[in-house]
């Protein structure tokens, strides 16, 4: 890449949404610095998927960061005593925040991304939040992202020196899952490398029954594409 290429920090979970977001950032010409968290999630396999996705899309660097969100608990993703909901009838019901919500997770992830951006002299941060086919998480909504961006532009050295402003990019925030999949497919994102399930079986095969699997499967169906991932029987 040329030295004039703009750098971006891209949050990458190993799931479908963040893989697409990385593909889009790369497609827009950014030199991508991917950041993944091993935070105590029960679907730790996604970290390995993130590694493969990052390699396949050719990032400048991939940083995997260990943080312990398990200590706070209160989420089925980090607390083994809480069951991941399965076979929910209405996956579009966002009136209650589901038990898979991890307290302040995206706030923490973005804060690490901001720290890395600051030392990289990068002013662009990408996050694959989605507020259409999603589970009603508060930290996936556009108003949260806007407030985070404002805060970031007051938190950092650049806020005082006034050189440049940070942008938090959310290229898939308003897309349906089907449109995310179609977009990613058109720019060469390999979904066979991704993992979306909250509660994979011992062989790390996705369950097809949690909200995340159901949203993914419906997305592929609506996009008239086949999900290349093999599900548990």
Q: What residue ranges bind its own copies (CB under 8 A)? A: 63, 65-69, 71-74, 97, 101, 103-108, 111-112, 114-116, 118-119, 136, 138-139, 141, 143-144, 147-148, 150-152, 154-157, 159-161
Distance CA 122, CA 158 (A): 11
Residue with tokens 């594409």: 225
For residue 58, how many C-alpha atoms fall within 13 Å in the half-sphere facing its CB?
A: 9
161 in a known ligand binding site: no
58 in a known ligand binding site: no
Distance CA 152, CA 111 (A): 8
Contact 78, 70 (CB under 8 A): yes
Least separation in angstroms between CB 208 and its own copies:
27
Least separation in angstroms between CB 227 and its own copies:
30
Least separation in angstroms between CB 23 and its own copies:
26
Sheet holding 61-66, edge to edge: 61-66, 31-38, 7-11, 124-126, 167-169
Nearer to its own copies among residue 111 and residue 132 (C-beta): 111
Nearer to its own copies among residue 73 and residue 85 (C-beta): 73
77 in a known ligand binding site: no
Q: Which two tokens stand for residue 119?
A: 């030392």
Least separation in angstroms between CB 193 and its own copies:
25
Nearer to its own copies among residue 165 and residue 201 (C-beta): 165
CA 110 to chain centroid, in Å, comes to 11
Nearer to its own copies among residue 18 and residue 135 (C-beta): 135
Distance CA 167, CA 148 (A): 10
The backbone torsions φ and ψ at residue 154, rounded to the nearest 5 degrees and listed phi first, read -115, -15
14 in a known ligand binding site: yes
Least separation in angstroms between CB 113 and its own copies:
9
12 in a known ligand binding site: yes
Q: What is the DSSP letter of 198?
A: S
Residues flagged as binding site for ATP: 12-22
In the annotated binding site for Zn(2+), the residues are 197, 207, 210, 213
């Amino acid at each position: 890449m040329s030295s004039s290429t703009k750098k971006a920090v891209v949050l990458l979970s190993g799931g479908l949404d963040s893989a697409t977001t990385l593909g889009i950032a790369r497609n827009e010409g950014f030199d991508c610095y991917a950041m993944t968290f091993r935070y105590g999630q029960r679907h730790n396999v996604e970290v390995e998927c993130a590694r493969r996705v990052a390699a396949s899309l050719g990032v400048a660097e991939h940083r995997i960061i260990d943080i312990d969100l398990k200590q706070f608990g209160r989420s089925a993703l980090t607390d083994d005593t809480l069951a991941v909901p399965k076979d929910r009838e209405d996956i579009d019901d966002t009136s209650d925040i589901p038990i898979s919500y991890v307290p302040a997770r995206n706030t923490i992830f973005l804060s690490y991304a901001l720290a890395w951006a600051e030392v990289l002299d990068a002013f662009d941060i990408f996050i694959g939040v989605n507020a259409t086919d999603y589970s009603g998480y508060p930290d996936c909504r556009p108003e949260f992202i806007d407030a985070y961006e404002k805060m970031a532009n007051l938190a950092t050295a650049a806020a005082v020196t006034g050189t440049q402003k940070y942008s938090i990019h959310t290229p898939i925030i308003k897309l349906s899952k089907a449109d995310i999949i179609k977009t990613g497919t058109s720019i060469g994102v390999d979904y066979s490398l991704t993992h979306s399930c909250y509660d994979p079986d011992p062989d790390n095969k996705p369950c097809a029954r949690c909200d995340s699997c159901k949203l993914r499967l419906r997305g592929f169906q609506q996009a008239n594409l086949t999900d290349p991932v093999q599900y548990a029987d």
